[in-house]
Amino acid sequence: MTRVAWVTGGGSGLGRALALEMAHDGWAVAVSGRRDGALRETCSRGPAGHIHAVPCDVRDEAAMARAARDIEAELGALELAVFNAGTADTAPGGEFQPGVFRHTLEVNFLGTVNGIAAVLPGMRQRGRGQIAMTASLAGYRGLPTAAAYSASKAAIINLAESLQLQLRGDGIRVSVINPGFVRTPMTGQNAFPMPFLMEPGPAAKAMYAGLMGGAFEITFPRRLAWTAKLLKALPYALYFPLLRRAAGR
């Protein structure tokens, strides 16, 4: 029986790489995003008939619910849902603009919430399934110039922790994916050095291995992940001066 998965943000970057990795391992993968052309490109790169484009805006709760119903009607019951769509908006000149925070949270956090709401009833009814959400190592601590992005990813980590405790008895596994820097269109906007930058292919393999192993937290690359975990454990009296020096502030 073919396993069925749903990957949002599947039109490019890490979402596309994960969809391809899963399709080559025999999954039927539905990929969602706002750009139909990009989704079709993802489909064309995979084995014939294994990747299916389901255009959808993660910010639209009703549209996400329809997408989940359409996927299950066409492909079968969802075994795995990976809510990976994300954005890293910044305001010009580093200004503090509520609109940037609103849009970032709508895509990164509420888009994930909308996806979970769409698949959770079916998984609960079947008593099985896996929900994965892409956060970031940037969600561990507040970072300079990345307040909106870091806050949205911290919210996803907290959400995943809560759902891990809440859904354990329902037969539903929860995973949170905390990548470092991966070469994607989104990180291509960064004007600063990105240590241990990974290519999408190896990053997707690490993500897939973690998902198939049932890990709660999936982190990569290893060296950057351990550095981030160390920073997370530091008291504020050490963390703030260290980050100020690193950022030249």
CATH number for the domain spanning 30: value is: 3.40.50.720
Phi/psi at 173 (5° precision): -90, 145
Active-site residue among 149, 208, 236, 239? Answer: 149
pLDDT digits (tens, 9 = 90+) for 70-124: 999 999 999 999 999 999 887 776 788 999 999 999 999 999 999 999 999 999 9
pLDDT greater than 70 at residue 143: yes
pTM of structure: 0.94
Burial 13-24 (b: 16+ CB within 10 A, else e): bbbbbbbbbbbe
Q: Which amino acid, one-letter code, is at 36?
A: D
pLDDT greater than 70 at residue 249: no
Q: Read off the pLDDT band of 186 (50, 70, 90).
A: confident
Q: What H or E segment, with its residue span, contains residue 35?
A: none
What integer is the mean pLDDT of 157-178?
97
| 236 has catalytic annotation | no
Q: Read off the pLDDT band of 60 (50, 70, 90).
A: very high
Burial 132-143 (b: 16+ CB within 10 A, else e): bbbbbbbbbbeb
Q: Which residue range forms the structural domain that includes residue 61?
A: 4-247
Instruction: Report the domain count for the chain.
Output: 1
Window from 24-33, 196-205, 239-248 with minimum mean pLDDT: 239-248
Assign 182 to helix, strand or coil.
Answer: strand
Closest CA to 11 of 55, 48, 47: 55
Mean pLDDT of the chain: 94
